[in-house]
């Protein structure tokens, strides 16, 4: 049971770390973020999304 808690906490820390890295790197200008969603475009290209697409708001 103790190992399960450690794994869950580690996964949460990893996810939070990636989110914090995305926000900090895009706000400081070290990563490009065309669509301003705080996810670096490099990560979006890795998962197969086109970062230049923007949803139209009417």
Is this model's pTM higher than 0.75 or not?
no
3-state secondary structure 11-56: HHHHHHHHHHHHHHHHHHCCCCCCCCCCCCHHHHHHCCCCCCCCCC
- Residue 40 burial (CB count, 10 A): 19
Of the candidates 55, 56, 25, 57, the residue with the CA atom closest to the CA atom of residue 40:
25
pLDDT one digit per residue (tens) for the chain, 58 residues: 899 999 999 999 999 998 898 888 888 878 887 877 777 888 888 888 877 766 655 4
Instruction: State the pLDDT at residue 8.
Output: 97
CA distance 16 to 7: 14
Instruction: State the pLDDT at residue 57.
Output: 58
Q: Are 20 and 39 in contact (CB under 8 A)?
A: no
């Amino acid at each position: 049971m103790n190992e399960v808690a450690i794994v869950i906490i580690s996964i949460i820390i990893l996810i939070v770390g990636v989110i914090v890295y995305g926000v900090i790197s895009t706000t400081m200008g070290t990563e490009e973020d065309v669509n301003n969603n705080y996810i670096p475009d490099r990560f979006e290209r890795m998962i197969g999304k086109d970062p230049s697409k923007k949803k139209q708001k009417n």
